Amino acid sequence: MTEAATPVSEHHHADVSGGWLRPAVFGAMDGLVTNIALIAGVGGGGVAPRNIVLTGFAGLVAGAISMALGEYTSVQSQNEQVAAEVAKERRELERNPAGEARELADAWVERGLPRELAEQVAEVLRDNPEEALRVHVQEELGVDADERPSPWTAALSSFLCFSVGAVVPLLSYLLGFSSLWLALGVGGVGLFVAGALVARFTRRRWWVSGGRQLLLGAAATAATYLVGRLIGVGVS
């Protein structure tokens, strides 16, 4: 009687190379912190609720556009730099394939692979230029030449998430309330919830991640409120 085959355990990893998570998280957090702090600053200076809302929406639009443009430029520049290095590595493989194979084998030997095996694998790769290029780029640059983040994805993620984050502290004003402290409290809840949601991707404790974001946002809010209060008293 043959034994039943042990089922193979399958697991899946999150997509960490798509280029959306970092700008989305950064955008949402920046939108929350920026507008909470902005509202605290102008509110601390004694500005009327109507003007606080106007200031908040101006900050939302300006910040979302700035974040999107910054993310697009950053990711596109990084991709262009990687493309230039990949082209350089391709030329080296065409000019000196034997030397590049030795370089790759030496790198593997330094990591503990037996030299004979490392040289065999490097020689096999020599006969497959495209795969050799991919492996060399991975080993020397630490990137996958076929999986580069999209600058458009990064820009759109940042724009949308900044906008969502920035509108949260304005919600109480939009619902007809005029209390600055209520708006800041809503913003604080938004910071905690956003941090807790990030923990789903990072596998950290949700309350630790949420508390960290709340603490950082509170520090920024306190600083801008104090500045707004001092300026408001000084010009009144």
Question: What pLDDT, in 10s, does the model give residues 179-208?
Answer: 999 999 999 999 999 999 888 877 889 999
Inform me whether the pLDDT recorded for 211 exceeds 60: yes
What is the pLDDT, as a whole number, of residue 236? 52
Read off the pLDDT of each residue in 227-233 and give the average, rounded to a whole number.
Answer: 85
Read off the pLDDT of each residue in 28-47 and give the average, rounded to a whole number.
Answer: 94
Read off the pLDDT of each residue in 30-44 and give the average, rounded to a whole number.
Answer: 95
Domain positions in the chain are 21-225
Q: Which residues touch 197 (CB under 8 Å, ≥6 apart)?
A: none
By mean pLDDT, which of 5-14, 55-64, 75-84 is the weakest?
Answer: 5-14
Inform me whether the pLDDT recorded for 7 exceeds 70: no
pTM, entire model: 0.81
What is the pLDDT, as a whole number, of residue 60? 97
Helices 49-95, 129-141: inter-axial angle, 10-degree rounding: 130
**Selected residue with higher pLDDT from 9 and 26:** 26
CA distances from 196 to 67, 112, 204, 205, 220 (A): 22, 40, 9, 8, 19
What is the pLDDT, as a whole number, of residue 19? 63
Question: What pLDDT, in 10s, does the model give residues 117-130?
Answer: 999 989 898 888 88
What is the DSSP annotation of the chain? -PPPPPPPP-------SSS-HHHHHHHHHHHHHHHHHHHHHHHHTT--HHHHHHHHHHHHHHHHHHHHHHHHHHHHHHHHHHHHHHHHHHHHHHH-HHHHHHHHHHHHHHTT--HHHHHHHHHHHHT-HHHHHHHHHHHHHSS-TT----HHHHHHHHHHHHHHHHHGGGHHHHTT---HHHHHHHHHHHHHHHHHHHHHHH---HHHHHHHHHHHHHHHHHHHHHHHHHHHHHH-
Mean pLDDT of all residues belonging to the chain: 88
Neighbours of 117 (CB within 10 A): 12
In terms of Cα–Cα distance, which of 33, 30, 10, 12 is closest to 22?
Answer: 30
Q: Which residues touch 201 (CB under 8 Å, ≥6 apart)?
A: 14, 21
Confidence bin at 140 (pLDDT 50/70/90)? confident
Inform me whether the pLDDT recorded for 131 exceeds 60: yes
Inform me whether the pLDDT recorded for 133 exceeds 70: yes
Please give the distance of CA 231 from its chain centroid, rounded to a whole number. Answer: 35
Neighbours of 235 (CB within 10 A): 8
